[in-house]
Amino acid sequence: MSNNSQETNNIKAWSAFSFRDFRLLWISGLCASITMQTRILTFGVWLYQETGSGLQLGLLGLVQLAVQMPSNLFGGAFADQLDRRKLIASTQSVSFFLIGLATILFVTDKLQPWHIYSIVGILGVTSTLGAPARSALTANVIPSSHMMHAVTSNTATFQISMILTPLLFSSTIELIGLEGAFLTAVIFSIPATIFPLFIHLKYNIDGNVNIQNTSMIKRIYEGFKFVKNHPILPGLYALDIGVTVVSFYREIMPLIVDKLFRQGQWAIGPLSAANSLGGVAGSFLVLSLANYRSKGMLVLYATGTYALLLFAFGSIQFLDLNTIFILTVGSIIIAGLGATDAIGMTTRQTTVQLTTPDNMRGRAVSFHSFCAMGANNIGTFHVGFMSSRIGAGNTMILGGVVSICVVLAIFKFVSGLRNYRYP
């Protein structure tokens, strides 16, 4: 067994939390994720109530796509040039002000769909500019030996927020109303903004002595060349894009619950939470596979299983069962989708961090996010549009077919991914 494997074996699942600065980054990330998920659910429910249109929900994805794609690349370049802590704080502060504005407009009964689209567009820019800095900052607050565990914790942060947020959202709507959900997003945006300012940088800092004299476009192009020539990253990104575009259903959950499960808004919380519970389980399952060297194949196995579960998800439409049983079956399948997705996502993010130098990390992360967010937004529109044409269940089945084809193509043609080993 190699020394790296021995060191990994001796590190506990929670070891990254022994570092003060990682704890601050983690809390900030958790609050930022809760803010984002609450905003997505709140805006989505309000828009669906106002319009009753799955296509209108899908258009949210196109709005975000239009602004996030270029912003992501600039965010990576900024993350390699500016103080990553201040970049996170400044971009997150915009969420506080704009969600606060939406709350005031809602309470005063002046909120309009164009307000939602405008705010989503602006937050799509600011959140995207800050995301590469948050991810790249992880390597600056912990040693490389703890990277897998830190990335797993960060992935679990996102999943935990997706468990807590839908449940908090449903409870808040029942007890207070939709205005309480708006206010919740505002409250959680405060620590997400402040905590990064107290972080100290200690590890994996290379220094970028020449970056100030390089144009922004050139820095982005340098990042593109790095990713393009990387033996592993192109295959990872292509796999993510191919599957996500045909299966991203999270932002149109109100439609899925209505058309596929034939339930009211109350079911959004439990079903969304099931996805996230599976995600947390999948994230920590990665740690038990830390010494499984074929990390590339691990991603392919997880994605292939995800594709098969899409078939099962879509097939729910053919079941003629009582409400409790069909929701139970649906929750189990969605949990499986969350688990397999998290395994692939955690391994992808760890690979980016471990195989990229600090002075290029922000841009490498940004291209990863560029692909992922682009796929998410196109996927939101695709699933919303196709669901309105052929039904939500048939859309998921179609997604499963396409996803299997993508996995097989990546396995055959991208040798760097299937041969990737770590440690």
Q: For residues 230 and 296, is the Cβ–Cβ distance under 8 A?
A: no
The average pLDDT across 326-354 equals 88
Q: What pLDDT is recorded for position 59?
A: 83
361 φ, ψ (degrees, to nearest 5) = -65, -40
CA angle 157, 36, 365 (to 5 degrees): 65
CA torsion angle 267 273 279 285 (round to 10): -120
Tell me the per-residue pLDDT of 46-94, one tens digit each, with 9 for 90 and over: 998 888 777 787 788 778 778 877 887 888 888 888 889 999 999 999 9
Question: 16-203+211-418, what's its fold?
Answer: Growth Hormone; Chain: A; (1.20.1250)
Phi, psi (5° rounding) for residue 203? -130, 155
Concatenate the DSSP letters of all residues of 221-246 into one string: HHHHHHHHH-SSHHHHHHHHHHHHTT
Cβ of 12: how many Cβ atoms within 10 Å?
10
Q: Between these two residues, 140 and 262, which has the higher pLDDT value?
A: 140
User: Amino acid identity of 325?
Assistant: F
162 compared with 400, residue with greater pLDDT: 400
**Residue 189 confidence (pLDDT) above 60:** yes
Confidence label for 6 from pLDDT (cuts 50, 70 and 90): very low
Highest mean pLDDT among 97-111, 164-178, 323-337: 97-111
Distance of alpha carbon 381 from alpha carbon 99, whole angstroms: 23
**What are the residues whose beta carbons fall under 8 Å from the beta carbon of 355, sequence distance 6 or more?**
230, 232, 233
Helix pair angle (178-194, 147-175), 10° resolution: 150
Amino acid making up residue 318: F
What gap in Å lies between CA 73 and CA 307, rounded to an integer?
A: 29
Output the CA–CA distances (angstroms, integers) from residue 148 to 79, 109, 287, 407, in the order listed. 21, 47, 8, 24
344 vs 126: CA distance, rounded Å? 26
Amino acid identity, position 257: V
Provide the CB-side half-sphere exposure for 79 (13 A, CA). 34
Q: What percentage of the chain has pLDDT greater than the value 90?
A: 36
- For the chain, give the mean pLDDT: 85
pLDDT digits over 267-310, tens only? 887 887 788 788 888 887 887 787 788 888 999 999 999 999 99
The mean pLDDT value for 164-179 works out to: 87
Give the DSSP letter of residue 261. Answer: S
For the cut 60, the answer to whether the pLDDT of residue 8 exceeds it is no
Extract the runs of DSSP E, i.e. beta strands, from 69-172.
none
| 10: number of Cβ within 10 Å | 9
At a CB cut-off of 8 Å and minimum separation 6, what does 76 contact?
132, 220, 223, 362, 363, 364, 365, 366, 367, 369, 370
- Residue 180 clears pLDDT 90, i.e. is over it: yes
Answering whether pTM is above 0.75, one says no
Q: What is the pLDDT of residue 161?
A: 74
Query: What's the half-sphere exposure (Cβ side, CA atoms, 13 Å) at 167?
Result: 12
